[in-house]
Structure formats: C-alpha cells, structure tokens
Structure 1
Amino acid sequence: MSGINEKQDDLHDEGGHVDVLHSKVLDNSDLMNDAFDGENHEHEQTLWAAAKSHPWACFWAFTMCFTIIMEAFDMFLNGNFVAQGAFQKQYGVYVDGSGWTIPTRWQSALFQSGQCGAFVGVFLAGPVTDRLGYRWTTLLALMLMNATIFISFFANSLTVLVIGQAFEGIPWGFFIANSPAYASEVAPLALRGALTATLQMSWSIGQIIVAAATLGYNKRTDEWAWRVPLALQWIFPTPLLIILFFAPESPWWLIRRGRKAEALRSIQRLGSKSPEESQRTLAMMERTVEIEVKQGGSPTLLDLLKGTDLRRTIITCLMYASQNFAGNLIANQATFFFEQAGISADKSFQLNLINSCLQFVANVISWPLTGWFCRRTIYLWGTATNICLLFILGICASVPQTSGTNYAQAVLGILISFVFAGTLGPISYTIIAETSAVRLRALSTAVGRAAYYVAEIPMIYLASQLLNPTGWNLAGKCGYVWGSTAVVCWMMAFFFLPELKHRSYREADILFNRKVPARKFKSTVIDVKDNE
C-alpha cells in the first residue's frame, strides 16, 4: 500500500485547481499494481453490482443525457407542425386533393435549420469542452438555450422561425457532443453500455412530450396551436442548469488536465468506494492517460486524422451518419408519414403518441440487451430487421391501396421506429463513446456528430421530397429507398465495426494501435500488464 500512501501525499500537496504534470505511473511499480487491481476489478464487476456501487454515476449520466430531450423536442416539434391544421393554414399553400400543406422547401428549411446550427455547435463543443470541461460547457449551453428559445416563440413568419431554430441548434450541438462522452467517462465498465444508451431514451422522452402537446393543441385554430408547444421548451433548461451545477466533473478530463485531487474527489462522488478502491481507480485512469500522452501529446483536431486515430474517427463518423439511413427519418416525421399513408389527421397524431411511447419501451428494453449481447450483434441484427421491414413497407405501398394497406403502412412505420429505438439507435451511442481515445473523446464525439449532420441535412430534404404531395409523394414507397441505404450500413458495419464490449479504454487503445482487424477484436487477448 506504499503506492497509495505516496499518492495520497501528492494529492494533499496539490492545491485544488492548479494543473500539474501527470505522475509517472508507468515508472512506479506500486502504482502500476494499483492500476492492475483497478482494471481487474472493473472486469470482474457485474452489471447489477456496478449499478449498486455507482448510483450517483447513473444519476449524473442520466441527467447529462437528458439535455438531449431539447434537441429531440425541437426535431419532432417541426415534424408535427407541418401536419398541424392551424400551422398549415397560416403558412402553407392549398394543393388540390391534399388541402393545405407546407411547401417542400419550407419543410426542409424547418427541419434543416436546427441541424445547421447544431453543426456549428458540435465543432465549437470539442475545443470548448477540452478547455472548460463537460460540466461548465454544458451549463453555458443551457444558458444559451434559454435565450434562443425567445426567437422561435415570438416568430411571426416561417423565415424568423427558421432563424430561431438555427440559433437553438448551436446549444444542441454542445449537448449531443458532450452527453455520450460524459456518460462513458463517469460510468464503470459494466455500466458503460446501458448509460450511454440512455441518449436514445432522451430522444423518446422528447418525442412523447411533443406528441402529447401537439395532440392536445391540434384542434385549436389560432396561433397558440403552435406557440404553446414552442413555449414548452422552457421547461427543460433551467431545472437542468440547477441540477448540473452540482454535478461532478469527469475524472478522466480532470486527470488529463493534471488535477488529480479533484479527479479523486469525483471518483469518490460517483461511486461508494473505499479510499483504497478509489486510489486504484485513479491509478488505472492515470495509466491509460499517460500511455495516450506518450503516444500523442496534447489533443488537436488534426490528431483525429493521424495514425490509428483516423480509423477510430472514421468508425465514429460512420456510426453517427448511419443513423440517418436505416428508417430513423420516418420516425422524425411520423405524424406526416401517417397522414401521407392515408390515415386521418386526428388518428395520425394519436398514432404518433403511441409510436413515441413504444419507442420509450424499446429504449428500456435496450438496457438489458447491452448487457446480454455484443455491440456488433445488436447493431447488425437490428439493422437487418429494419431492412426487411422497410422493403415490406415499400411492397405494401405498391399494391392497390385500401384502408387495410393504409393501416399496414402505419404499423410498419411504428415497427421500424421501435426496432431502431431498441437496437441500432441506442447501441450507436455506446459504440461512439467507446471507440475514441480518451484524450480525443470530446473532439471525436463532436466531429462524429458533425458527420451525422452532414449526412442528415441532405437526407431531410430527400425525406421531405419522398413524402410531400408537392414533391414525389411516394408515401410508404420510401421504404425501398431507406431499405437500400440500410443495406449499405449493414455491409459497412459487418466489415469495419469492431467489438469493444468488456474492453477497458487501455485495451481499446492497444487493439487499435496493433491494427487488429475489426472481426478479431472480440477474440484477441490483451494482458493486464500490456501498455502497447
């Protein structure tokens, strides 16, 4: 235990917020033994044992992930507005045979403006987070969110509403870049999959609130039919701002900054550990950080494109981008999709609420799935299932249409959303959070999310064209398009997606540095004493 005592003395001498050099864990046999013990303990810990010993890690990861509710809320809100009678009459055009509808170009602008703002936000998030930490960056983004909602709420034209959505998108970019990274860094190894999968649940919660609000105000014929749902955005930022003010900073970020005393306090706040266990966890983290520092030094955006980190960046970008190609955009415009499938407006809003609730159920199911099955297995089988459902949707829309085929298309749309929300949606966030190097995590998740927006912005335009009466008006036949793109996603994942379940961040670094093929990640043995 001499290493622990020596470490404790260093921490007491350290003085709070002063950044210091990392201790030489790799050159200290006692600290290395502590690191070995800390990593072995994480590997031996079961999911239930980790949850019992780290209740606060679960709480803070959940709370940070709940910031995603705001992006989900706005994303689905716009999708409901274009199907809302009062909104259509105020801002739409009359189309013979279809009634009032929002023109395709404005639909696309409403869906894309927030994503364009978020694209800017994710690029700002990486450097800002690397400098200020996850906690302060998120607090600043919540303050900005509160301010930008005013623009959308008081908008009196589609132009101003689009501008408001673009400004709101900037803090969304911070939330989506930081949440998976923070959740993965505060969680012990056994909980990493379940806690990062919480992000998809936050999307579902946002969708449920939107579905309920728009269903409740759908029958109004005045401007409050859409202004009240817009005002509901203010219920999120302030409570989260207050709660997250008391959140612990990620111990991994603190160690990267050399603030070991604060890192130790964060470790102790996140789990009910003895002083000896906390020291072992600290030594394990310091060892990984020191290995990465020796390999790459201070993180920059250019490092994402160098050496083995380029491979990790490509995987992160592909996983994020692929979320737009396996039927997810049907869920984003569910109410409008139901209407185009031949369902009445009132029934469409009711089905959207049912769809949102079922997605929440699927998210909850995804938690045990991450404990029982491997990441690759969940992603590949989830994608394969949606491929089949999407092509069946296309076939169903191609036969002579009746009331039965209309409802069949609606049910298939719900099933596609359910499968996405229970498998490839949440597991994508887990894979993204685990793939990047620790020192580049804030930058990697930000750039990966930027790839998502690069893919999503043109796909939103395509989705609007596929469904809109003023566009191609394909309704359920869009299943052929999204089924084909999902096939491409499945093939890329089969050949290039590595399995990182039960792998510590040190082991992941070694596997990538050794250039192990993706399909051999699971079977390759890494000794606890290996540093490279």
Structure 2
Amino acid sequence: MISTSQGSDPHCATISSSSHEEHLPQQMEFITARPAEIEMGRKHACSHHSNEDPTSPISTGSSRTDTSLFIDQLSMALPALRPLHSPAREAMSSERKMSFLCGCRLYPKALIWSLVLSSTVIMEGFDTILIFYFFTFPAFKQAYGTPIDNAGYQISSKWQFALTTGAEAGEIFGLLMNGFLADRIGYRWTLFLSLVFLFLCINLLFFAVNIQMLLAAEILCGIPWGVFQTLSMTYAAEVVPTKLRAYLLSNINLCWIWGQLLATGVLRTLVNNTTEWSYRIPFALQWAIGVPILISVMFAPESPWWLMQHGQQPQARKSLKRLIAEGKVNVDEAVAMMDYTNKVEMYLNKHDGGTSYISAFKGIDCRRTEIACMVWVTQQVCGTSLTGWATTFYEQAGFDVNKAFDLSLGIYGLAILGSMVSWYLLSRFGRRRLYIVGLCALFVILLIGGIIGSLPTSKGQLWTLGSLLLILTVVYDMTIGPVCYVLVAEIPSTRLRIKTVVLARTAYNLAGILINWMTPRMLSATDWNWKGKSCFFFAGTTAFCLIWCYYRLPETFGLSYLEIDILFEKKASVSKFHELRERLRSVGYFNIDSNERPASDWAGF
C-alpha cells in the first residue's frame, strides 16, 4: 500500500510516473554486486537523484540513502527488474515520506475495513473468557458439574482442563485450515464462512444439556476462533501503508482486551443470578455481537496483495481503489510496487517458489518462521498466565466475589491504558527494543514475585503478589502484547505471510495448552503448591526468551516489505537490520558475496 498523488499534506509525495510490468525470466541467476559496483551505483544514483532528500522521516538526525539508491542497487542485483524500478522507486519514496496524519487521510477506508475485520477478535476475546468465569457460577456448576459431599456441585479439574484445552485444540485445526482456505478463496470469504460456522456452533453452546455436549461445542467453536486469530492480522498488514501498520496491528491486542472487558462486565451483572440464564445469556450475546460483523464482512474489499499474488492485477487495482481516498493516491504506482515486491519474492525463492506450509521451512523462510513462532510463544511463557489469577490472590486476602469481578474490570482498564501507550512507544522506539525492554521488566517483576512468594503466607503477601500481577499486566500490554502482533505480521514474506502466521499461532496455542495445564497445578494447594514461587519458573522462561530475542530478533521498524525480503535473503544479522533503519547507505548489504554468507539457513547471529 504505497504511493500518493498531490495532496494537502506537505509530507505526502507527488508522483506522476506510470507503471510497467515485465516477467522475470526463469533462468535468471542472482547477481551479487561487488563493492566497486556499489560505488558506481552510488555515483550513478547521486547524479540522477541529487535533488532528492536523503533524510529519513523515521529516524531524525541520521542520514540514510534515498529510495532511488536502494532501487538502483536492487536493479543491479536483479537486472530483469529494471523496467519496474522507476515506479517502484517512486512508490517506496512516497510511502517513506508519508506522515501518520497523511496516511490516515489517504487510506481512511483501509483503516475502517481493518478495524471491522479486527472486531472479530473482540468477539473471540468475549467468547473464550466466558468458560473460565463460568467455573465459579453456581448455576453453571449445578448444570454441568457433579455433587460432592459438603461442597455442592463442582466441575472436576479434568473437565476444566478439557473444556479450556478443547477450544485450543479446535483453534489449532482452524488455524491450519485457515492457511489452506485463505490461500484459495481469499481472506473475505474465509472470514465470512467462519462467522457462519461459528453461529451454528453457538447453538450447541446455548442448548448444551450435559458437559460432553459442551465440550464438543467448545472444540467446534475453536475452529472459527483459530481463523479470527490470524486473518485479522494478515489483512491489516496488507491494506495499510508502513506508517499505519504498527498502529493497526497492535490494535489487535486492544481488541482482545475489549472483548474480555465486555465479557467481564456482562458477567458482573449476572454473578448473583442463580438461574440457568446466568450462563445462557452470555452465550446468546455472541450472536448479537457477530451479526453486524458478518454483514460488514460481506461488503469488505479483498486484500490487494492476495489478488496480486494470485495473478489478478485488475481486481487488485479495483480493491485498492476501495481502500483509498478517491483521487489522492496514485493507484498505478501502488500496484507496481506490489507487483515488484511479489516478483522479487518469487525470484528470491526460486529454489521452491511455493506457498505451502513446507515452503515456510525451506531456505530463507525457515529463519522467518522461527522468529515468528518464537515471538508468539514468548507471549505464553513470560508469566502472563498468572495475571488471570490476580483476583484469586485478592479473594484469599478477603475480597468477596463481587469485588473480585470489580477488580477484574480494573485490570482490563489498566491493560487498555497500556495498549494505548504502546502506540506512542512503537512509533518512537521500534519493535525489537520495546520487546527486549518489556522482557527485562517482566523478568524483574517475576523475580520479585518469586521472592515474595517464598515468604510466609499472609494478607500482606497476597496483596503484594496481586499488585505485582497488576503491574505485570500493564507492562505486558505496553510492550510484549501489542508488539508481538506487529512483528509476526511484518517478519514473513508477503507470499507466505498467511502460512507463517498460522504456524506461529499454532506454536502459541500448543504452548498455551502446556501452560494451562501447568499453572493451576503450580498454584493449587493439593497439587504442586508452588503458589507465589511459581514466579521463579516464569522468570526462568522469560530469561530464556530474552536471550533468544537479543540474538535472533531483528528490527523491522520503518522497513518496507521489499527491504525486509532483501535483508533476509542476504541472511543479514540482527545488527544489519538496525543499520539499515539508521543508515541504509552504510549497510552495503548488496556487497555480501557468497563467501561471506553463512551456509546455514538458521543464520542471523
């Protein structure tokens, strides 16, 4: 999503050249530019583009090459792409110069449609948290539990684990199915069919007469939930320009919180209701939330990137026109840039060139898949599973159930505040730095929590542990929570984005099943009885993730998809990514010859 025509914003670039297309010859070999050739390319670029401003709008005070030099160097490496380099250059240049407000003015419809499709995550956040709260509802326990002497009706820990992990298992199936469906019928139709299927599954939830039927309904509902988890992210990543990408992608984390907050608010009003409607009404509300989303999805434009990758350039042009302000964006330049990036990726992956799941583990895409999976798994193992138990600590400290629900509302309010703060932090500090700083802060919080948990149990200790978990929630939603969605969407190649994101979320869900099994046992007095000392375990896993991120996680802040593709193809180290953001001219990644390139595809140290 790239270029602009004349607009009122001084940061909006004016572009007038037209696009030109040429297919890559299959027999073309990758030509690596030598240092002397790079110097010639610089002189050539300077002679032809000396009037262009070389400064980056992303990093003030640091000079970086203009887009012309980048495209000229790329053209030296890929000679057959030279006929396309002029419109691609203009498209990249205009996107880099685009300000945030300019992007909002030029792509207002893209913003709206991205928010509409992201609202499916609000629906999922609402749905998935209900079952956890219902375990404490008397009417729910009487309907699906078993009577226990002197304890009333209870749902056994085995069934609790089955109901929560059943949904996770269904999500994994839905994720993998999403990779096939979205690649064949498009994002819009995949999402539409998933919503219809979810409405049918909600019938099973609403009319479930026993716990076995409830488990089957949870598993089936997990299938469309798995689709929602990734499709909203890939759609947002493909319909907005670079300047808006971080805001829209991090907003997905906020959508999760809004859904959970809405569910908690609804359940707060029903907590004292002892009839079956205390749990059936929340199930029924899923229909009310989903119908407006379903109607909106019917009219949503397809991703122009998806259409371009499937050889439907005229349809991609039409879809792009539905995402932009009329007459303010040069559609020819934007389409040329998408076509250019698609052809470069096809060439760089000429050893395979496929878009299957297996392709995500071949060549340079193997490293990208590793990064995406680890970034998302980090969310599960950095202690966030403990935040759901903050209210438990307060109940043990003397809070009643109503006040515990009020506290949950406060926790989600803090999470929303943290997510909003992350928008500013992302635009100022980038992705890698924010992720690493967030992990450092979580490690310290968990370490302190483990020390306090080792002290004799008292009300003061429980209050302190609960308060530390509140702080952990804020830190998480300022850093790890929202940044994860940005990184996972930016790291994959555009041709394999949906498959890579699906694999990453699958890894997240598998880790979630393990963590959901471990956490209750850590805190239960009848199992492992670690209680507050559980923080030590998560401090250890957080430290491991921190070390991995330091050596493996690159900085993608301000980079176009084409620039990210080239850096991964050159097996650039983490420092190379940072250098490109700060000063592209000094990186010289086109002079990395075959002797300097690591033999392993797991490169990047």
Query: Same fold, TM exceeding 0.5?
Result: yes
Deviations 1:436-475 (A, max 9, x none): 0000011111111111111111111111222345433444
Match of 2:377 among 321, 329, 339: 321
Structure with bigger RCO (C-alpha 8 Å, 6+ apart): 1
In the alignment, is the contact (CA less than 8 A) between 1:495 and 1:518 conserved in 2? yes
Does 2:522 align with 1:433?
Answer: no
Aligned length: 515
Matched residue type, 2:116: T
Residue range with higher mean Cα deviation, 253-262 or 64-73: 64-73
Tell me the equivalent position of 1:150: 203
Distance 1:259 1:422 in 2: 39
Per-residue deviation, residues 24-61 of structure 1 (Å, max 9, x unmatched): x9757564211101011111112232123222111111
Matched residues in 2 for 1:397 and 1:5: separation? 64
- Aligned residue for 2:241? 188
Which range moves more in the overlay, 512-521 or 403-412? 403-412
The change in CA–CA distance for 1:526 and 1:250 in structure 2 (over 3 A counts) is farther
Measured against aligned partners, the alpha-carbon deviations of 1:319-343 in whole angstroms (never above 9, x if no partner) come to: 1111111122123455456445664
Q: Check if 1:221 corresponds to 2:274.
A: yes
Shifted more, 78-87 versus 183-192: the winner is 78-87
Match of 1:4 in 2: 18
Q: Counterparts of 1:411 and 1:95 in 2: how far apart (Å)? A: 34
User: Greater Rg, structure 1 or structure 2?
Assistant: 2
Aligned to 2:404: 348
Cα deviation digits, residues 396-451 of structure 1 (max 9, x gap) = 33323333332222222222122212210110010000000000011111111111
Report the counterpart of residue 22 of structure 1 in structure 2: none
Q: 1:413 aligns with which of 434, 459, 469?
A: 469
Shift, 1:5, TM fit: 7.4
Query: Compared with structure 1, are the counterparts of its residues 522 and 274 closer, same or farther at alpha carbon in structure 2 (3 Å cutoff)?
Result: farther
The answer to whether residue 571 in structure 2 is matched with residue 515 in structure 1 is: yes
* 1:519 Cα deviation after fit: 3.1
CA distance in 2, matches of 1:169, 1:300: 23
Whether the 8 Å contact between 1:341 and 1:475 is mirrored in structure 2 is no
Matched, 1:452 2:508: yes
1:56-75 alignment runs, 5 A limit: 56-75=109-128
- From the superposition, tell whether residues 346 and 518 of structure 1 become closer, same or farther in structure 2 (CA, over 3 Å): same
Residues 98, 469 of structure 1: 8 Å contact kept: no
TM-score of the aligned structures, taking structure 1 as reference length? 0.90
Q: Report the equivalent of 1:107.
A: 160
Q: What's the offset of the Cα at 1:208?
A: 0.4
The partner residue of 1:285 within 338, 344, 348 is 338
Which residue pairs with 1:246 in the alignment? 299
Query: 2:37: which partner in 1?
Result: none
Aligned residue for 1:40?
A: 93
- 1:74, distance to aligned residue in structure 2 (A): 2.5
1:393 aligns with 2:435: no
Map of 2:533 onto structure 1: 477
How far apart, CA to CA, are the structure 2 residues paired with 1:467 and 1:341? Answer: 15
2:458 to 390, 402, 412: 402
Shift of 1:142: 0.7
- Counterparts of 1:334 and 1:164, CA distance in 2: 29
Tell me, yes or no, if the aligned pair for 1:104 and 1:464 is still in contact at 8 Å: no
Name the counterpart of 2:478. 422
Deviation at 1:275, TM superposition (A): 7.1
What letter is aligned with 2:158? R
The 1-side partners of 2:195 and 2:79 are apart by 39
Secondary structure in 1 matching 2:578: coil
CA distance in structure 1 between the aligned counterparts of 2:88 and 2:568, rounded to whole angstroms: 21
Q: Is the 8 Å Cα contact of residues 107 and 464 (structure 1) preserved in structure 2?
A: no
- Identity across aligned pairs (percent)? 33
Give the Cα–Cα distance (whole angstroms) in 1 for the partners of residues 545 and 144 of structure 2.
Answer: 37
Give the CA deviation at 1:263: 1.2
Paired amino acid for 1:111: T
Asked whether 1:50 is paired with 2:100, we answer no
Larger displacement relative to structure 2 (158-167 or 179-188): 158-167
Q: Tell me, what secondary structure is at the counterpart of 2:300? A: coil
2-structure distance, mates of 1:73, 1:338? 23
SS of alignment partner, residue 322 of structure 2:
helix
8 Å CA contact retained: 2:572, 2:589: no
Aligned partners of 1:409 and 1:258: how far apart in 2? 56
Question: How far off its partner does 1:177 sit?
Answer: 1.9
In the alignment, what sits opposite 1:496?
552
Alpha-carbon displacement from aligned partner over 1:279-304 (angstroms, at most 9, x marks no partner): 11111111000111223323111111
Which whole-Å CA distance do the structure 2 matches of 1:357 and 1:224 have between them? 27
CA–CA separation in structure 1 for the residues paired with 2:450 and 2:397: 11
Distance 2:162 2:324 in 1: 45
1:495 is aligned with what amino acid? Answer: Y
Instruction: Give the match for residue 322 of structure 2.
Output: 269
CA distance in 1, matches of 2:346, 2:482: 30
Q: Aligned residue for 2:70?
A: none
TM-score by length of 2: 0.80
Deviation at 1:99, TM superposition (A): 8.0
Q: In the TM superposition, what is the alpha-carbon distance from 1:308 to its structure 2 partner?
A: 0.7
Contact 1:499–1:521 (CA under 8 A) maintained in structure 2:
yes
Partners of 1:386 and 1:101 lie apart in 2 by 35
- Determine the C-alpha separation between the residues in 1 that align with 2:590 and 2:90: 15
User: What's the offset of the Cα at 1:83?
Assistant: 2.9
Structure 1 window deviating more from structure 2 (61-70 vs 311-320): it is: 61-70
Partner of 1:362: 418
Supply the distance in 1 between the matched residues of 2:240 and 2:454 (Cα, whole angstroms).
47
Residue identity matched to 2:433:
T
Render the CA deviation track for 1:169-208: whole Å, top value 9, x for unaligned.
0001111121111111011001111111111011101110
Given candidates 123, 129, 148, the residue that maps to 2:182 is 129
Distance change (3 Å), C-alpha of 1:399 and 1:378: same
Give the letter aligned to residue 451 of structure 1: A
Match of 1:204 among 242, 257, 278: 257
Q: Match for 1:164: what amino acid?
A: A
What are the Cα deviations for residues 114-165 of structure 1, in whole angstroms up to 9, with x where unaligned? Answer: 1100000000001110111111111111111111111111122222212111
CA contact under 8 A between 1:79 and 1:336: conserved in structure 2? no
| CA shift for structure 1 position 212 | 0.6
**Richer in helix (by share):** 1
Query: Aligned with 1:523: secondary structure?
Result: helix
**Inter-partner Cα distance in structure 1 for 2:150 and 2:528:** 15
Residue 90 of structure 1: CA displacement? 4.6
- 1:21 corresponds to: none
Contact residue 391 and residue 466 of structure 2 kept, 8 A: no
RMSD: 2.6
Say which is worse superposed, 47-56 or 85-94, in terms of deviation.
85-94
TM-fit CA distance, 1:225: 1.9
Residue of structure 1 equivalent to 2:355: 299
CA distance in 1, matches of 2:158, 2:482: 31
- Looking at structure 1, the residues matched to 251 and 570 of structure 2 have their Cα atoms a distance apart, in angstroms, of 31
